[in-house]
Structure formats: C-alpha cells, structure tokens
Structure 1
Amino acid sequence: MKFLQRLRLAYGDMKLSSKFTLVLMITATIPVIMMAGFFYGRLYDMVVSYTIQQEQDTSAQTAPYVEEIVQKVIDAHDGIEEQKFFQTLFHQPVNSPFQMFLETDSAKDFQEYAKDLVSSDLITGLQIYMDFPPQSVRLFTDDLTKDYFSPMSKARGTYWYGIFQGTQQGSLFCPEFYLGEREKENYGDMAYITSTTFYYQEQARQAYIALYTSSSHLRNMLKDNLPIDGSVSYIINERNAVVASSDESLSGIYLLNYETIEDSFMSSNNFIERDILDTKVYAGFYNIKQPGWFMVTVLPSGPLIAQSNGIMVQYVLMYLGFLICALFLAHFMARSITNRISSVIHQMSKVRKGTLSPMASPVYHDEIGDLIDTYNYMTRKMDQLMEEQAKSAEELRIAEFHSLQAQINPHFLYNTMDMINWLAQQGRTDEVSNAVQSLSRFYKLTLSRKQSMSTIAKETEHVSIYLLIQNMRYHDSISFISDIPDELLEYSIPKLTLQPIIENSVLHGILETDDKSGTIVLTGWMEGNDIVLLISDDGVGITPEKLPTILSGSGNSTSGGTNIAIYNTHRRLQILYGPDYGLTYSSEPGRGTEVEIRIPAKKETA
C-alpha cells in the first residue's frame, strides 16, 4: 500500500509533458514488446522452413532446364554421328586412303552441318581426335575438315583423356578443369566427349568426339536458383568435381561429398543440415538424371538469421511509425497546454544566433512559469560567463606570449661573460671594454621599454651586435650581410624574433662546418599586406628527417641541444598574428638553411 501511495504521489508531482509521454509509452509499448518476444523465438524457424521450401520449389523448376541443356548437347552429338561422312569414316572398314572421302558431297554436307552447329548459342566447338600421325592424313589439313579433326596427340595430357584411358568409359561430361588450355581457349570450358573406334589399314584405332559448350548457361541458371544472398548453388558429378557453380569460392567452402549426397538423397527428403567450418548450413539436392549429377543448394545460417532480423526490423519500423502517429495525436491533444512551452522554445532558439534576451516575467507560476524564470536566470548567467570567458582568454593569450618570450636561451649571456672573463685574464682591456659595451647595448635593446614589440631596424641592430660578440669568441669567422630595404625598417616586429634564428644558424649551422666559418644573409620584401624576412646561411644544413621537427618543439639539433627557442619564436608569432604567420624552414644538407619569417605589415605605434 505504501509503495502504491508513493507511486501515486510521484505521478502527481510529474510535469504535464512527462505524464502524457509516460501514459502513451506504457499503453503503446508493452503490448508490442510482448508480441515481439512471442514471435521472435519462432521467427528464425519460420524463415528457415519457408526458405527451404522456396529453394526446393525453385530447384524443381531449374533441374528440368539443366537436363534440357544436357539433352540438347547429346542430341547435337548424335546428329554428328548420323552424318553420312561420319558413318563412312568410322563405321565402314575400308583399306582405301582417307583422302578419297574428302572429295565426296558428304564431306561438304558434314562441314555445313558442323558450321551451323558451332555457330549456335549452345555449342561452341567441335573436335574429333583420331589416332594416327597427322602428316599421313590430309584429313587434318583439308579446308573441309581441318577445323573439326585433330590428331590424338593434341588430346593426350588432358585430364579427360586420362579418365578414358583408365576407366574405358564410353562417354563423359567434362567440367572446366578436365579440359586442356588449348580446348578452353579455342572451343569452350565444358565438353561432352564420347569414345569410338575406326578401322584404318585393317587395324582398329581409337577416336574421341568432343562437343564443347560454355558453362555460363548452367552458371546463370544456378544464380537464378538462389533463394537468398550468401547462398550458393552448384552441380557436382560422380567424381566430386564441380561442373558449374553460381560462386566458385563459396562452392569450394561448402562442397559436399557426392557419396554423402547420394546416401542422403532418398532418406532426408532432399534436405540435410550440416556444420561446415563452425557454420550451420542447410543443403538441398536435386538429381540431374541424364549425366548422373546432383544440383546442390547450400543455405548458410547467417543470411537466414539476417533475414529473420530484417523481418523483425521491419516490424519495429512499423511499430515506430505507429508510435510517431500516437505521439502526434498526443501533441495535438495537449496543444492547449503546451502553447506557452512553444513560446519558450522559440525564445531559446534565438540563443543559437547569439541573442540572449530575457522573456517577460510570467503571469502564472506553474511549471511553465518556473521554466520562464529559469530561462531568464540562465540568460543573465550566460552573459556574465561569456564576458568572463572573453576576459580570461585575452589574459591567457598575453600570459602565454610572455611565457614564451621568457624562455629564450640564457646560455648566450653565460658564454659571453666567460669570454669577457677570459679576455680580462689575458689583459686585453680594449677588447674587454668593447665586449662589455656590445653586451650592454645588446641587452638594452632586449630589455628597453616594457612593450613586447620593436622595429625591424632595431631587431637588425640587435642581431648585428649578437654576431659581433660571437665573432669576438670565434675570431671573426662569421660574415653577416643585411640587405633589408629602407622602407621596411620602421615596420613593427616582436622582440627577439631574429636573434634565436641567427643564433641557431651560428651554433648549429656554421660552427658545425669543418672550418667553423660561414656567411649569414638577412633580406626582406613586401608581399601583399605581409612582410617576408629571409635568413639564409651556408652551414651544414638540416637532414630531411629532422627538418619537420624544428617547429614542433620536439626535435633536437645535430649537436644534441633542443630547438625550443625556435619553436617559441614560431609560437609567439602565431599567437600574435594567427596560424597563417610564423616561420618556414627549408634546408639542403651540406649546403645551408633558409628560414622565412612572415608577419603582417604594421607600423610601430608610439
């Protein structure tokens, strides 16, 4: 009782839309689920039973057409034997040369009959193989017979010839692999072959009559015999050879033994169930009486399951259609209640366009009134949060810029101070004075004013002083050429943009050459609304595999150091100006490196 009471109270406190939805879902869903559960367990068996019956009916219609094709081939063979030329050649023992028969009218009649036969849709070739040397008989070269008679040597080596020799069979329907390559290329991929004898010079000799056709006739029938996708239909002969198949790969997988089929044919209502490669399959048979073949159709369980699932999906889709109609009806009935909800939804949709405007205060304080109050509160909070987010993003951008700028490698200062100390110990006071003055000017340019921006002129002076100090250390081994047009010198550029690149060219380019000397060239030009500065050196260059890592912050230089200063410079430019700006490296090992710096053309403001 307490549970029912709590349930009643919970239902009473629910929103109106929830009540309508809950009632509709219960009344519409539970009966359908019960029906689906009842039928699904039986649905697969129903599909299997129906599909097997469909396959058996189709096979019963297909088998007579297969037998009809076989009979037409046999009839065509019999027609050849009834020709007068053939009868004279094979069934009248004579000692006269064969050449005399080629000059009779019956030889011409035989040629016309053979031409008409092989030009039909069914018969694709005719060959009569005879056992005597080809050079001794004009039969193989005469215009009337050369296309249809061949010496026995062209039959030897084929699989069907071996069968005839080993079994003494009188006739044989040959699938593709029984035939030789010459036969398949010139005549057809199936054949009906019979054995006969003829007498020549008082001696019985062997002969074979081969009537060729195409397996496509049977293959097309077998494809039409398939009840579902994924199944296969094939014809098998008494030697367990596949005569024709709707799908050669599937017939190889689901090939059943001829003896198994024959044993099951009379005892299983032309149907058996087997497990092949851990897959349950259903196989139906139909006997092709004339050659003693069996037509087999194998139905894997997978497509049958998919078919039953497809029926269930159709059922679910029909149910969803019914449910949508029911929901539409419920919406229509509740429209008088939900009109105000629609106005709230319309107002909320304006938020997608960036308009955050509150609604008028509600007159009624029901669920919809609470929704309007909540929406108005939400818009005020969203405005506040968006302002705070924009402010935080700007502060983050500035903080990241200064953080990157602060990461410039301080080793230059340490090394320069060591050099000044060494000069002082050597008593070279003039050089100490020059070095201290240059270092002072260097850091004055670096630290002058609190702004993070400078001009191209000051940055050029900055790197000139840097190279002057380095030449003090390395005995004037570095030449520096600055060729920037005067009209570019007053354009704005972030501080410490050129120095890390020049430093990288010195330490990892020029000083790694054999003579530790080289030249650095700085030039620039205007390109549209952008300024392009180019720094090139003739140092050792960068290998192709290391070149992509220079601007990623993950690569190391050839001397073992990192490229963090270069990466920081590239990131500073992209943070300030966007992803279209920054550094671009190109290099040829042993020849040098070029660095392109792209920045927008802006004049420095006071």
Structure 2
Amino acid sequence: MRRNFKKWKYSIQARLLIYFAILAALFLVSMAVCYFISMNSVYRLTADSVGNSLRQINIDTDRVLSDAQHMAEVTSEDSDIQKALRRPLPDTDKEIYKERINFNNSLYYTWRSSENINGIYVLGANGAIFRSYYSLHKEEYRDEPWFRTVMETGKPLWMEPHEGSSVANNLNLLTISIIVPIHDKASTDILGVTVVDVLVEDLKSIQDGEMVFGGNTFILNEDDRIIYANNDELSEEDIGTINASIAGQDSLHEGDALELNIGGRKYLGELIPLSDSNWKILGLISYKDMYAEAQVMRNIILVFIVFFGGASLFMAWFGAKNIAGPLGRVLDGMRKVEDGDFSVRIEEDRKDEIGDLIHGFNHMVYKVDDLMARERDTRQKLVQAEFNALQDQIKPHFLYNTLDSINWMARMNRTDKVSEMIDSLTGFLRIGLSRGKDFISLAEEIRHVESYISIQKIRYDRILDYKIDVSEDLMGYRVIKMILQPLVENAIYHGIKEKDEHGTITITGEETEDRLVLCVSDDGLGMKPERLAQIRAMMASGARYNDNAYGVINVQRRIQAYFGEEYGLDFRSEYTKGTQVYITLPKKEEAAQNA
C-alpha cells in the first residue's frame, strides 16, 4: 500500500487534485477571511445599534418622566391656581364645587394635551383639591406622609412605582408619581402640591416599540437599586441578582456603557440620569439576545462555507479523476502494449481532447497490431524459407551419406542392416515431409528424431548410443517439427564425435502449468566457456546466420517466430563433460492450428 501511495503521489491525478485542492483552499480561506471581517462588522454594528436603541429608550423614558415633572411645575406656577390656594376655601359647598369645576376643566384639557400623563392633581394647603379626570380616593390628603414631606422640604418628590394612584381611583394600575411643591410667587410660602401620575405600561410601550433586539429597561433610585423593570417576567430573585451586579460597579455615570455579568451571562447596558432627580434609567440586554440574529446569520454563512468547501473539494477530486482517469486507462493500455498485448482497446466515451487522445491511441495500437501481424507473417515465411533451405541442405548431404552406407552394407551382404536403414530413412523422410504441416505431435517428432538417430547409430555404432525418456502423457502435445533433429545432429558431430569416445544422447521431457520443456543432452566433449557464451549471445540477439550453428539458430528463430521471445533454447555445457540444450515451448493441445 505504501508503494502504491508513493507511486500515486507522483501521478497526474494527484497533482491535479493538489492544484484543485489549493484553489479550493484559497477559496475557503478567502471566504473565511471575508466571514471574520463581515462578522466583526456585524457584531460591531449590532453592538452600536443595540447601544443606540438602549440609549434612545432611556432618552424617551426620561422624556416621558421629564414631561410629567415639567407639567407639574407649569401647573404649580399657574397664577389662577396660586390665587385660589392663597385664600381660604369658599364658605359654601356650592361655591367650592363651582371653583373646583372650573379648575378641573382646565386640568382636564392640560391632561388631554399629553398622551403619556395619566392624571394631574392639585392639592392645596388650604384644603382645595383640583383633578384632571379620575375621581378621588378621599377629600383630605394633607396628612399623607408624601404631602407633608414636600411641604416641609419644598422640593419635588418622585414616588417609586406603586399600584394605583396615590390620589385618584385608576383601577390600581402600576403608577409612577412626581409631586412638585407649589411655591407662592408673591411670598415664600408653599401653597400646596401638584401630583402628576405616569402609567408604567406607557413606559413599557416605549421599550416594546424601539428595542428591535429585545432587552429590559430599569429605573434605579438614589441608592442605585431597581425600583422599576419593564419586564414582568423577571422574578424578585432575578431583580436581586441584577441589583447585586450593579452594586458591584465602582460607579455609575451618565452615558456609561456597562458590561455586567449576571447569572453567568454577559449583558450590555446604557445608563442616563432621570431629570432633576437622583433616579437613573438603565437599559440592559444580554449579548446572547443581542447577537441572536447575528448568530443565525453566522450559522448560515458557516453552512454555506462548509457546503461550498465540501462541494469544491468534491469537484477537485471529481475533476482530477475525470481528467486523470482516462489518462490512467491510456497508461494501462500502453503498459499492456509494452507487454505485447496489441488487442487492448480503450472505450471512447469522450468528445474532448482526451477523447481525441484515446482515439489516437486505439488507432495507433490497431496499426501497430496490424504491422506486427504482417511482420510476424513475414518473419514466419522467412523462417520457413530458411527451414526449407536447411532441409534442402540436410537432405542431399544426409541422403548421400545414408545411401553410401546402404551401398557399403549391401556389398558386405549385411542385408538386415540395409533393411533397417531403409526403414529408418523412409520414416525420417515421411515425418519430415508431414504433408506440408509445420506442427506435428510430440510423438511424431520423437519418432522422426529416433529414425535419424537409428541411421546415425548404424554409421557410428561404435561410439553412439541414445536414450529417450519422455512420458506418454506428453506425446499428445503439438510441437514445431524438426526441432530435435538439429540438436541431436549437433550433439553427434560437435559432442560425441569430437570426444572420440563412446557417448550417449538422452532426450527427456517434462511439463509445467503452461509450458512443455524438452531436453537434448549428451556426455560428449562439451563447450568451452567462451564458445558457450558465444552461443548464448547468438540466441539472445536473434542471430540469423552462423556457419557453425546454422541448425540451432534456425530452431531458435522458428520457435520465437511462432510463440514469442519468452520461448526458445537454453544452452548449458561444461567442457569435457557434455552439453544440455533445453527447449521451452507453450503447451499446445490437439486443437492447435497449423501455421
């Protein structure tokens, strides 16, 4: 696997994949950089927007409460009201009612002019009471603690949110009240107080209308303790936690942008003072809520980055495979052609340049295969011509020697030997001709070479003996005719005869899974190393002619012309000890075709 990977990493597919992957990585990096820059901008803009929203809510809340205080102060400075409060109450109820009706109508129209004021009430030190709309709880307020406090201090008093107005019946709605003293313009006396009520739900509507990202608005008293929260869902425990976090701040000043950690969550806050009081308005929103939409957008962008990144990598892999895959098939086809398989064809399923390359490869292989077939045919015809020439050389010389021997034996009245030689010669010539066939059975080839040896044995009976050890199981295989006789002839004339001693020629055969191996060996003179090297060189180089090895060269060329260069002759020899020639052929059954 490691070897395959090492080979793959240098392939075109690997390089294309790397190039495409680099492009995809650059794309992803660019998207990531744009993402971080965009998200930082979004977070910054979100923080600014939320901060501005909180600041605006605080300002609008302060405006509502400041308008209430201003209305109370304007009412307290009204000359007609002060004039009515300087004098004692009228003597009769009718006159008291008449006076009250006039001022009630005036306060009613003043109340109607402001949409955020729930009620205006004038309570005089002389017992006079004027109201804008609602009926009163009672007719006497001069003993109320808040009344006495304002009368004694002469300063405005803000009353923390409470259920219902302190003066009128308003269905116990949560109310904030501002109580302003009425200073007499003609003296230093305090003539009474003006009470203006503001409904808490009006403050909530400000927050609901302007806070796009959610959040809460709080009013803090002079001790920086929450006295109002616009969110009814906050429990007392939540309010206590927020109070504790606020108390943890060193100081709270106007315009402060606060970062509070409340219950393990971070909050952004904006703080402004409330009018002329010691109260403060605090807008608060958690970062989680503030960035909720930004987080959704971030997640969408991340999904797109992951999707397009995965798609880019897939396209990189697919593109590399789409380009390198056909090239790989061409390369595999080339390797097969190198191994001699010219039947390989690559499917032409593309219309681009790679398709043209595949078409060109197929056409080239077809042409090469055709040329190789012609070359094989020409070579076989050439080898056959050489074989015929060899036969033409063998026949006259061999026939002359054989007939001379027959004539000599006839004169010697050795009729038995004459008959034997004629039978052997007849068998030799009959099998040698083989009705023009190039392939014969191994059994016929053995009989052919045995006829030849029999004739030669009669001539060289003193020094020649032979042995054939080939299993009957091999006799049915088809072989090229006359491949044993030239080797036996070499063994006689260059081995045994040269040694001038009695020698034996042995022919053996064996088979492997797909090959047939025959061996012609002798115990004659053998070859010197330089001669053996020369013979092997001629076999390896495909020599076409040599005076001293014409027969074996012809056998080698015929075998390789029919079966290929992996088949042929292999010589082994040791000087003075003999020679072995191995013939390697493919297994060919009875169905083998003649060339």
TM-score, normalised to structure 2, is 0.41
Structure number with larger C-alpha Rg: 2
TM-score, normalised to structure 1, is 0.40
